[in-house]
Structure 1
Amino acid sequence: MKRLSQFGRRLLGVGAMLLAGAAHAADYPTQPISLVVPFAAGGMTDVLARQLAKTMQKALGQPVVVENRLGAGGIIGAERVARSKPDGYTLMVTTTAHVVNPSITKQLPYDTERDFAPVALLASTPNVLVVNPAVPAHNLPELVAYAKRTGGLSYGSSGTGGTTHLSGALLAGRTGAPLLHVPYKGTAAAVNDLLGGQIQASFVDALTATKYIQAGKLTPIAVTTRTRNAMLPNVPTVAEQGVPGYETEIWIGFYAPAGTPPAIVNRLNELAVSSMNEPAFRNTLLQQGTTPGQMGVPEFRSFVSAEIRKWGSIVKDAHIEAQ
């Protein structure tokens, strides 16, 4: 009887916690919400986060503030969220770098799977290999030949460990082209130096790259996905230009700290999917080669887990050692 009594008390305690969580979720939100973006303003991640913040603020009736917390390839911003209370008031929008970092960083200050609750996929897009028009190349074989002939080609990325960095590392490993990686704190900074000629090439998300390609300010060489992009139909893939099996993609995810009540996570997922698929914004994304997300919470959680393992294999294939 004593054991049953102890079990009963534990059961009542769990029930009380669940009821408290449900009550908290029902009242949510009662204060401003911080949306942490671990990269600089102006890039794809920041654009999507601000669209999401606008939707959330309107639907939830509380201020939603985008907080750009830069540094360490997204790790500094992610750590801030991982250490926050799981109450739905500190959230994160970040790139594929989040699922790559476990493979390239020896000692992360958090566990990527255990310390975060995946909420929603916001959008996905190919990376586009683009060059400054001064570079005498219009396709991948010409670019590889130019890099080998001149002894090296500098390419910028949005930060060490992100897909824009790894896309170049994987290409260098598969082709033998001497590519010099130049990391920046965000896409906007890399593109700015590419336009100015300080670097020669970059892997840039299609959302950002399309407008510069259409304006003739950057020359597209290849898209990194398995198939061509509908908005860049004349730009061949890396794979079809002599690098079979090559494929990388950038996607932006929405996360909460682990332990956030499921009711809050589900509500945030609904708002995220609605925000990315708002007709005018969805049309803008599609016109710029970007696909808005539509995953539910369980599907996105499984997707994140699979991506951690996929990028681990890419890092291994690219012979990149964890630092």
Structure 2
Amino acid sequence: MRRALLALLLLLAALPAQAVDPLRLVSGFAPGGPTDQLARVMAPVLGQLLDRPVVIENRAGAGATIAAAAVARAAPDGNTLLIATSSFVITAATMANLPYDARRDFEPLYFLGEVQTLLVVAPTLGVTSMAELVAMARSGRQMNYASAGVGSTMHIAGELFNIAAGTPVAHVPYRGVPPAMAGMLAGNVHMMNADLPVLRPFVLDRRVVPLVVYSPRRSPQLPDVPSAAEVGMPQLDMSNWYGILAPAGTPQPVMRRLEAAFAAARVQPDVAPRFADGGVSEPMGADAFRAKLAAEFDRWVPLLQRAGIRAE
């Protein structure tokens, strides 16, 4: 690890310096959410390594497509980057007439990591297992779930539950994770799926009830919560990843410099423990991220189109 980090830092120093324009990291989600939090952990260290200001721009709404469109239109000069999540692929599969081509208009730069998805319900619902939740949702009772917006991973996770359980739980979209969580805690919605690190504090203080991890395996952060395979719903397999995308056509020397900076920042003492504490997996460089992104498109686009899930 030390040798790899040294090589990255040497590359960073050797490449030509950029102009002192701010580096804009554009997020499609509201301030305070998990994407925003990870970006703000990285930004100060990244700015020091690049010797330039790093600014987080939150352009929430429309399943993060507003932010993606802004970056797709930006000059490919390394000054504007997208903080993408799994919803980047989801929207390509569920939204018609996007103002950009998700496969052609972006270049994978760095993969920050991914986290598991957790399903929780309100304590007032009175259920403590997936079997009880499914039975209630099938009973004819009107039920709903919160999401961070149409086309978000939380939206798709909720619809995956409906498909797996054969239930009609209604979707209630909010403008980001924090307002969705507020709606959940206020009792305005019955259930929600979100990144496990986001929900874990509310689980620990018993403000929500965890039912299942959308994964073949349990989470070490919440080892008492069963996996999807254990509750007989292996099709509930979904994580949320975070990665950095640049506009297509960004020069390779600029891409290499930025990749080296993100790689160096990700392992710094002020950053790595914060990601680890949040349950975020190990990062990957541009080549591995490119392969993962292609695999994500290959999985989700046909799956969601077959399921008829559309973001109107």
Same fold (TM over 0.5): yes
Kindly state the Cα deviation for residue 284 of structure 1 after the two structures are TM-superposed: 3.2
Q: State whether structure 2 residue 43 is matched by structure 1 residue 53.
A: yes
Q: What corresponds to 1:256 in structure 2? A: 246
Label 1:283 to 1:150 Cα distance change in 2 as closer, same or farther (>3 A): farther
Q: What corresponds to 1:35 in structure 2? A: 25
Read off the aligned partner of 1:147 and give its amino acid letter.
A
Kindly state the Cα deviation for residue 322 of structure 1 after the two structures are TM-superposed: 5.9
Aligned residues: 298
Q: 2:287, 2:277 → 1: CA distance?
A: 29
Out of 289, 295, 315, the residue aligned to residue 304 of structure 2 is 315
Is the CA contact (8 Å cut-off) linking 2:49 and 2:265 kept in structure 1? Answer: no
Is the CA contact (8 Å cut-off) linking 1:125 and 1:250 kept in structure 2? Answer: yes
Kindly state the Cα deviation for residue 141 of structure 1 after the two structures are TM-superposed: 0.8
Kindly state the Cα deviation for residue 150 of structure 1 after the two structures are TM-superposed: 4.7
Is the CA contact (8 Å cut-off) linking 2:94 and 2:305 kept in structure 1? Answer: no
Q: 1:271, 1:318 → 2: CA distance?
A: 40
Q: State whether structure 2 residue 115 is matched by structure 1 residue 125.
A: yes
Q: 2:311, 2:37 → 1: CA distance?
A: 30
Q: What corresponds to 2:142 in structure 1? A: 152
Read off the aligned partner of 1:314 and give its amino acid letter.
L
Is the CA contact (8 Å cut-off) linking 2:215 and 2:234 kept in structure 1? Answer: no
State which structure, 1 or 2, has the greater radius of gyration over its C-alpha atoms: 1
Deviations 1:173-206 (A, max 9, x none): 1211221111111111111110111111110101
User: What SS is found at the alignment partner of 1:291?
Assistant: coil
Q: What corresponds to 1:161 in structure 2? A: 151
Label 1:212 to 1:29 Cα distance change in 2 as closer, same or farther (>3 A): farther
Q: State whether structure 2 residue 304 is matched by structure 1 residue 300.
A: no
Q: What corresponds to 1:8 in structure 2? A: none
Q: State whether structure 2 residue 191 is matched by structure 1 residue 198.
A: no
Out of 228, 233, 236, the residue aligned to residue 218 of structure 2 is 228
Deviations 1:196-231 (A, max 9, x none): 111111101012111111121111111112211111
Note the residue ranges of structure 1 that are not aligned, 5 or more in a row: 1-24
Map of 1:1-323 to 2, 5 A cutoff? 26-293=16-283, 295-321=284-310, 323=312
Label 1:226 to 1:167 Cα distance change in 2 as closer, same or farther (>3 A): same
Q: What corresponds to 2:6 in structure 1? A: none
Q: What is the percent sequence identity of the aligned residues?
A: 35
Is the CA contact (8 Å cut-off) linking 1:39 and 1:45 kept in structure 2? Answer: yes
Tell me which moved more, 46-55 or 313-322. 313-322
User: What SS is found at the alignment partner of 2:273?
Assistant: helix
Q: 2:203, 2:275 → 1: CA distance?
A: 16
Q: 1:212, 1:277 → 2: CA distance?
A: 28
Read off the aligned partner of 1:109 and give its amino acid letter.
P
Q: In angstroms, what is the RMSD of aligned CA positions?
A: 1.6
Q: What corresponds to 2:3 in structure 1? A: none
Q: What corresponds to 1:5 in structure 2? A: none
Read off the aligned partner of 1:311 and give its amino acid letter.
W
Kindly state the Cα deviation for residue 139 of structure 1 after the two structures are TM-superposed: 1.4
Read off the aligned partner of 2:287 and give its amino acid letter.
P
Q: 2:183, 2:253 → 1: CA distance?
A: 44
Is the CA contact (8 Å cut-off) linking 1:170 and 1:317 kept in structure 2? Answer: no
Tell me which moved more, 111-120 or 28-37. 28-37
Read off the aligned partner of 1:97 and give its amino acid letter.
S
Kindly state the Cα deviation for residue 309 of structure 1 after the two structures are TM-superposed: 1.8
Label 1:247 to 1:81 Cα distance change in 2 as closer, same or farther (>3 A): same
Give the ranges of 4+ consecutive aligned residues of structure 1 lying more than 6 Å apart after TM superposition.
none
Is the CA contact (8 Å cut-off) linking 1:122 and 1:254 kept in structure 2? Answer: yes
Read off the aligned partner of 1:320 and give its amino acid letter.
I
Q: 2:53, 2:219 → 1: CA distance?
A: 36
Q: TM-score, normalised by structure 1?
A: 0.88
